[in-house]
Structure 1
């Protein structure tokens, strides 16, 4: 399935509108009126994610799954920036969307191998994040561990190269952001940083450039 320019635009608009409608809910989950939530950052983030979902999807089930994940990711990014938390109320439905959607896609296309790889990738990334969270709880929280399963399942469905690059890119983005904030004196070495946005950016990088950067894993 190839989505044309109109389909990309419509998906972007639909995701942006969905995020706009869900913003009051995100504000209630955060329990704060942070500037991140007042500025309605979720709308453009979801719109961009929706456009990317339309470009990336190769079937209608994939399009629905990727678009819904884009909306969920936009909400999580903003809430994490506001209160350093990834609410279960957003993460849990993303697991349902991912599982049901990818299973439906596998049923229609026969991509059972892709589904198995997605499940294995989700489990592997959760184990990695859990080990890191236990080793350094000040750097990673349980919310990050829970979200890693969604990220792993999404990237694993696309391929091993996407998973490897996306997983590594999250930590690279985090390191760059921390360094920039330290250099600008906007943070100290003891400051807490939201890792959810880094995970989302890493997933985007993995999905977009995995096979190009890491062809050996493709």
Structure 2
């Protein structure tokens, strides 16, 4: 009964948070160095809570904009419910539930505009380490803060090397790696390796599929962020079950 209540609460949280994602996704999905969008497609200024960042993705005329609210809310609810089912009542569940909507937002922006904004990635890296540090002090924590910190630093350094020697990575991926390394590192080094490989594998399969159907060539760049996030999510489910 307790597990069912946790899963239900997590799904409701994900749904509510997901409703608020399309507006910042729309505002942030702009080319590099371009200012964030401040008006809806019809030209109405975006106003409201948090200088217009929070609220439904509807303009003054009542028209929706950005990605589908129903689809995003559904995806976020499912992600949060699966995390709750796998992690249970452990302290780190709160951390994962707070990060899940941000991960969905990052995946949307990267998929749409091929960028991972510093305004999201850098604060998330700090927040996840602080929150995991608090979670590690609570009873029944299922991971290690030390390995989370080392995972963040090592994965970030590894992605930086790849950024320098490879044209397939952007610097946004390096900063995202700081977040993902902490999340994966919480469950140990085996999970870091599996999660990193899973993200690469998903990205490679997508690239190969696009080439085979003629929608991309070998020089085309695909947004790796969504695949890195998906690989981390799947591996966190695995790691939480193993612990």
Q: In structure 2, how many angstroms separate the alpha carbons of the residues matched to 1:12 and 1:97?
A: 22
**Root-mean-square deviation (Å):** 2.6
Q: Distance in 1 between matches of 2:175 and 2:119?
A: 12
Match of 1:205 in 2: 234
TM-score, normalising length: structure 2 = 0.78
Report SS of the residue matched to 1:24: helix
Q: How many residue pairs were aligned?
A: 210
**Corresponding residue for 1:107?**
137
Structure 2 distance, partners of 1:7, 1:144, is: 32
Q: 2:105 aligns with which of 75, 79, 90?
A: 75
Q: 2:84 aligns with which of 51, 54, 67?
A: 54
**In 2, are the aligned partners of 1:161 and 1:211 still within 8 Å (CA)?**
no
The answer for unaligned runs of 5 or more in structure 2 is 31-36, 42-64
What residue is the counterpart of 2:50 in the other structure?
Answer: none
Q: CA deviation at 1:162?
A: 1.3
CA–CA separation in structure 2 for the residues paired with 1:114 and 1:92:
21
Give the 4+ runs in structure 1 shifted more than 4 A.
110-113
2:90–2:140 CA contact under 8 A, matched in 1: no
Q: Aligned partners of 1:3, 1:121: CA distance in 2, in Å? A: 32
Measured in 2, the distance between the counterparts of 1:78 and 1:113 equals: 29
Report the equivalent of 2:149. Answer: 119
Alpha-carbon distance, 1:59 to partner: 4.5
More deviation in 98-107 or 72-81? 98-107
Q: Do the aligned residues in 2 keep the contact of 1:72 with 1:91 (CA within 8 Å)?
A: no
Aligned ranges 1:77-96 → 2 under 5 Å: 77-96=107-126
> Contact (CA 8 Å) 1:133, 1:142: kept in 2 or not?
yes
Structure having the higher helix fraction is: 1
* 1:26–1:48 distance in 2 versus 1, CA, 3 Å: same
Tell me, in whole angstroms, the C-alpha distance in 1 between the residues paired with 2:88 and 2:146: 18
Q: 1:37: which partner in 2?
A: 66
Larger Rg: 2
The 1:191–1:38 alpha-carbon spacing in structure 2 relative to 1, beyond 3 Å, is same
1:13 aligns with 2:12: yes
* Inter-CA distance 26–129: structure 2 relative to 1 (3 Å threshold): same
Choose from 187, 196, 205 the match for 2:216.
Answer: 187
Query: TM-score normalised to the size of structure 1?
Result: 0.86
